[in-house]
Amino acid sequence: MSPGTNPLDKIGDVLEAFRQGRIVAVFDSEKREGETDLTAASIHVTPKVVRTLRKDGGGLLCMTMPPAFHEKAGLPFLVDLFSDAHAKYPVLKALFPNDIPYDAKSSFTITINHRKTFTGITDNDRALTITSLAGLIAGSDGTPQDDIVTAIGRDFRAPGHVSLLNTARGVLDERQGHTELTTGLMLMAGVTPSATICEMMGDDGRSLQVDDAKAYAERNGILFVRGRDILEAWKWWRKAGGVIDTKARSDGKGEGVGEV
């Protein structure tokens, strides 16, 4: 990259793909999980996107929650919820995840279904759950906490078939997992800051190797981006005034997430 080049330009086509509702393959790092996730902007998820993620990804379909939203909504990290409940359910204390090899704390919070779904597992059902929650996130800025909690209870039930992930408060300033990498991409793209992600699995019992993930992306016209390039762009975006926020219009184009 030549001197003075904006690192955002390096991933500009990736950010535009999210604005257009397209899927992108995101690799974290050889030093972390060493996994590639198929990723889409939650606000633009369709049943076809869900089908592609579950068939070509094969891992767990998850939806990231931006920090201001999950804190205002009171969505607990599961590990904290289990810790609080272990006096009544001792098995939860025995299951405490203090030996995760690549991280200190899991991002998982609750699982949900939209109340208008049947089982909640079909492509149509999961797309409805994801886009409805993304719409709620998009309109949440300035909404009182009680109203957000009421809206969540009105539209969703738990447990369900969409796994939610709580993004770290500082996003990539604080943690560099797929939850933060993909939420950070949504912020930089200026769309509603929630990503829908699914790990890519191989046929050998392991996660798909990075070279195979790149080859898949090339065959299918999907962009591939590495975590290190996302981090470079993020640092530049933050120094240029990028703001970690949940302000976004309901059309998914975004506003108030920082001028670059």
Identify the CATH number of the domain in which residue 16 sits. Answer: 3.90.870.10
In a domain, 186, yes or no: yes
pLDDT value, residue 248 = 37
Tell me the pTM: 0.90
User: In this structure, how many other beta carbons lie within 10 angstroms of the beta carbon of residue 47?
Assistant: 14
pLDDT value, residue 245 = 67
In a domain, 257, yes or no: no
pLDDT value, residue 243 = 87
In a domain, 2, yes or no: no
In a domain, 245, yes or no: no
Domain that holds residue 191: 7-239
In a domain, 244, yes or no: no
In a domain, 35, yes or no: yes
List, in sequence order, every residue forming a beta bridge with 163; answer none if it has no partner.
Answer: 62, 111
**SS3 sequence, the chain?**
CCCCCCHHHHCHHHHHHHHCCCCEEEECCCCCCCCEEEEEEHHHCCHHHHHHHHHHHECCCEEEECHHHHHHHCCCCHHHHHHHHCCCCHHHHHCCCCCCCCCCCCCEEEEEEECCCCCCCCHHHHHHHHHHHHHHHHCCCCCCHHHHHHHHHHHEEEEEEEEEEECCCCHHHCCCCHHHHHHHHHHHHCCCCCEEEEEEECCCCCECCHHHHHHHHHHHCCEEEEHHHHHHHHHHHHHCCCCCCCCCCCCCCCCCCCCC
Q: Is the peptide bond before 76 cis (omega within 30 degrees of 0)?
A: no
pLDDT value, residue 4 = 53
Encoding tokens for residue 141? 């800025």
One digit per residue, the tens of pLDDT, for the chain of length 260 reads: 444 578 899 999 999 999 999 999 999 977 778 899 999 999 999 999 999 999 999 999 999 999 999 999 999 999 999 999 999 999 998 988 888 777 767 899 999 999 999 999 999 999 999 999 999 999 998 899 999 999 999 999 999 999 999 999 999 998 999 999 999 999 999 999 999 999 999 999 999 999 999 999 999 999 999 999 999 999 999 999 998 864 433 333 433 332 22
Q: Measure CA of the first residue to CA of the last residue in the chain; give whole Å.
A: 19
Least Cα distance to 83 among 91, 74, 92 occurs for: 92
pLDDT value, residue 30 = 75
Integer CA distances (angstroms), 156 to 112, 129, 142, 159, 230, in order: 6, 8, 21, 9, 32
Domain count, the chain: 1
pLDDT value, residue 251 = 39
Q: Which residues are catalytic?
A: 37, 62, 102, 113, 161, 199
